[in-house]
Amino acid sequence: MAVLLFFLPWTDLSCNGPTGRMQIVTQSGLQSAIGEASEGGGIARQREEQERMTGKKANNKLDLGELRREQIQKVGAGNKDDGPEKAPMLWLYLVVLLAGSIVPAILAANRLRGGLVLGFAGFAVLLLLIQLLIGFPLASTAAEFNTDTKKVGNVGKNIGMGEANMFGKMEMKCSYLPSFWITFLMLIGSGALGLVQVIQGGGPKTSRGRSNRRPRDDPDND
């Protein structure tokens, strides 16, 4: 489950739109690792609304600010020329997930397999926590954008533009989506199962050299 969830949207970037928060782009775990993003639902709905009002079918070149899809995807970028930032640590996370899914499956149910499951799951959780502390690409993008916007607002205020409330409305926010948190639950659950197997050990042990069957020359067999 954790492997499958790696390919679902983990984070999104949103801003204030006409009807509230508008989702601009999303990133799955894989997209965070390779530095790509997908168009968010808010942008898609805004384009559909514009198509409905104009009666024209939008192509790759959107009417929204004459931005192409590739440029919309690069909203999640610290530097638009370089594309979105990357999270290379997630490649190691994916390797740990795959190893944790394959290696224990070829072993018998015993303490060794339980220990491996516990170790792989714990290491995967640790990597996610480290990445969370470092900041996922869209989280870094939102922080950088808000910092730059605040600077512009301060400049506007200094030259007599008042409080420049318009800049506050442009604030971006990075949110962590359900698939990201479910990944944590799957890994914690896997680790818990591994711990149970470590405690319980393998199947019931039988003592070698002993048998409950009676010898063939036992007189009671008559």
Where do the H-state alpha helices sit in 77-160?
Answer: 89-102, 111-134, 137-158
Torsion angle in degrees (nearest 10) through CA of 181, 6, 100, 105: 110
Q: What is the mean pLDDT of residues 24-46?
A: 84
Highest mean pLDDT among 70-84, 86-100, 134-148, 167-181: 86-100
Dihedral angle, C-alpha 109, 110, 111, 115, nearest 10 °: -30
Question: Given a cut of 80, is residue 145 above it in pLDDT?
Answer: yes
Position 65 pLDDT exceeds 50: no
Q: How remote is the C-alpha of 29 from its chain's centroid? A: 4
Per-residue confidence at 204, pLDDT binned at 50, 70, 90? very low
**Percentage above 90 pLDDT, the chain:** 41
Mean pLDDT along residues 41-63: 60
State the angle between helix axes of 111-134 and 89-102 in degrees (0 to 180), rounded to the nearest 10: 160
Please say whether the beta carbons of 76 and 84 come within 8 A. yes
Q: What is the mean pLDDT of residues 149-156?
A: 64
Give me the residue spans of the domains in the chain: 9-158+173-201
Cβ pair 40, 21 in contact under 8 A: no
**Among 39-53, 90-104, 140-154, the least confident range:** 39-53
What's the pLDDT tens digit per position in 9-18? 999 988 876 6
Residue 17: helix, strand or coil by DSSP? strand
pLDDT by residue (tens digit) across 90-107? 999 999 999 999 998 888
Please tell me which residue, 38 or 151, carries the higher pLDDT value. Answer: 38
